Amino acid sequence: MGAYRYRAIDGQLNIRQGRISAGSVDDVERILSGQGMTLIEAENTSLVNFGDLFCIKFSQKDLLDFTYMLKLVVNSGIPILTGIRDLMKGHSNKKITFAANAIYQGLDSGLSLSEVMDSQPRIFPPYYIHMIKAGEASGTLDNSLEFLMKYLNWQIEFGKTVRGALSYPITILTIMGGLMVIIFTVVFPNMLKLLTGLGAELPLPTRIMVATSGFLRSYFMLIAVFAVMLAASYQFFKRTPSGRRLIDRTTLHLPVIGDLVRKINLSRFFKIVATLHSAGLNVERTFTIGAEVVGNTVLSEKLRTIPAALVTGESISDAMRRTGYIQDLVVDMVSIAEKTGKLDDALNRASDILDKEVPETIKKIVTLVEPLSMVLLGGLVLLPLLSVFLPIYKIVGNIKVH
């Protein structure tokens, strides 16, 4: 984000000069083009503040807080520039102060609120910008901000629900991993000294434990480096378009997990579509923005076929059915809503249905993880016990024979 001094030609061939807040010269040109001006030159008049690079990554909680503050400014009746300036000076959250500063500079340059936000994609997502734009066009900016607050609050609470439900299986798996490391690297090597001192022939479970423990102790650093490199390679592969697509497609086809990912993404999709449609956006644009919110690239591509089909005259319900990922119940609801003119209600009900199904799917995962974790934990306990007691039992048996 920087402040640019520009020179441009307007529609009457007059030279216009001014300052504008934007992320790059290309952003300046795009913003001015939207105002009917052609950029001649632009100069960055601000120094790069490296601290800002860490402030512009807004969390949903930060965005919710900023939206609440902005709504207070809009509803207060004071000039928005004055309210934003006060917000910029008086708030302790550096991220909100940074966003307020960006808004203030843009508004002071003559841009509309949505145009300023459009120049800050790392702060304001596309659905947010379009909602603000719809509020500006209809004169109901306060209603748009209220919609956004409800949606962001839903996103935050929904995320808490998912994380809370998944915390148990993740905790169990973490404990199991830690237990394996302790057994193979600390506990068993100490027991091994006793077993080798007895002079008995080691049975197969004991030999397996000896080989595993020796390998882990000898190549621990190499294994750790390999694990780090594997994780880094995965992250790099995930950032490539082909890699992200392959991972997302694989995730969707995983048993139970794929169903959970699909329902979470579709719930987010229907929630934002219902919100934007209620704000007055046209149907094609609404479904296009909704598809952009979906995190899974494969599912997002399928959902992008809906607005493309609507342009050709196809019904919403038929376009949804052809994606292959939306439930028949939801499709039938939308089909009836198209005939009765109650599409908003149907989209909201679809989101509510998926919201309720997500916890149920998580319960299925927990139900599968619990017995599996018990079996694995039992195996982790049984193998060391067998490895220790079988040699001792064999020695005792030999003593009885003699």
Q: What is the pLDDT of residues 261-310, one digit of tens each?
A: 888 888 888 888 887 787 777 888 888 888 877 878 899 889 989 988 88
pLDDT score of 395 = 65
- In angstroms, the CA 160 to CA 152 distance is 12
- Is position 149 within any domain? no
The end-to-end CA distance of the chain, in Å, is 86
Residue scoring higher pLDDT (184 or 86)? 86
Residue 360 scores a pLDDT above 70: yes
Average pLDDT on 328-341 reads 88
Same domain, 380 and 307: yes
Query: Among 14-28, 91-105, 327-341, where is mean pLDDT lowest?
Result: 14-28
- Is position 153 within any domain? no
Reported confidence tier of residue 195, pLDDT bands at 50, 70, 90: low
Domain that holds residue 118: 2-124
Same domain, 117 and 259: no
- In angstroms, the CA 42 to CA 21 distance is 11
pLDDT score of 48 = 40
pLDDT score of 49 = 44
pLDDT score of 196 = 64
Residue 47 scores a pLDDT above 60: no
Residue scoring higher pLDDT (87 or 333)? 333
Same domain, 245 and 294: yes
- In angstroms, the CA 38 to CA 288 distance is 29
Same domain, 167 and 216: yes
Same domain, 113 and 69: yes
Same domain, 301 and 176: yes
Same domain, 82 and 182: no
Q: What is the pLDDT of residues 114-152, one digit of tens each?
A: 888 887 877 888 778 877 887 787 677 888 888 888 888
- Is position 298 within any domain? yes
Same domain, 370 and 316: yes
Same domain, 226 and 341: yes
pLDDT score of 201 = 67
Query: Among 81-90, 197-206, 249-258, where is mean pLDDT lowest?
Result: 197-206
Reported confidence tier of residue 401, pLDDT bands at 50, 70, 90: very low
Reported confidence tier of residue 3, pLDDT bands at 50, 70, 90: low
The enclosing H or E element of 40 equals strand 38-44
pLDDT score of 69 = 87
Same domain, 118 and 172: no
**What's the number of domains the chain is made of?**
2
CA distances in angstroms from 374 to 173, 174, 195, 368, 378, listed in the order given: 11, 14, 28, 11, 6
Final residue belonging to a domain, choices 71, 104, 124 = 124
Average per-residue pLDDT for the chain: 78
Same domain, 119 and 189: no
Angle at which helices 60-76 and 141-182 cross, to 10°: 160
Q: What is the pLDDT of residues 208-236, one digit of tens each?
A: 777 777 787 778 788 889 989 998 998 88
Range with the largest mean pLDDT of 34-43, 167-176, 243-252, 385-394 = 243-252
Instruction: Give start and end residues of each alpha helix (H) in 199-342.
Output: 204-218, 220-239, 241-252, 257-278, 283-293, 297-311, 316-323, 328-340
pLDDT score of 54 = 46
- Is position 141 within any domain? no
- Is position 136 within any domain? no
User: Measured in whole angstroms, how far is the alpha carbon of residue 217 from the centre of its chain?
Assistant: 38
CATH assignment of the domain containing 388? 1.20.81.30
- Is position 147 within any domain? no
pTM confidence score: 0.61
Same domain, 106 and 249: no
